[in-house]
Structure 1
Amino acid sequence: MKKLELSQMMCVLGGYRASECKAVQALAAELSEKMATDEEWDEWCELYDKYC
């Protein structure tokens, strides 16, 4: 199997964006602290899939 470079993975994965992904991960920490609802976690999952 060929090893992909980051620019190639962005196309395959739908667009990894480092700064946005970092913000999504920070949001996860906030949601954990405040005992987020399932709906909030579902929205977070959509953001994670989009940016990470």
Structure 2
Amino acid sequence: PIQVAIVGLGYSGVELAATISERLKNTGTVKAINFQTTICPNAPPGNREAALKVIT
């Protein structure tokens, strides 16, 4: 199986993780690594919640 790690979960990191996961389907996994306590730290709360749903 393919394993991919995405480091950093700003807007682009979340988008990249979601896109790769979607393309891999069941042939691999994506691990999202974030050093901050929240994803998309500069985003409004609603956008942050939507991004969290996309990557979980």
Whether TM-score is above 0.5 comes out as: no
TM-score (norm 2): 0.37
TM-score (norm 1): 0.40
- Structure number with the higher strand fraction is 2
- Structure number with the higher helix fraction is 1
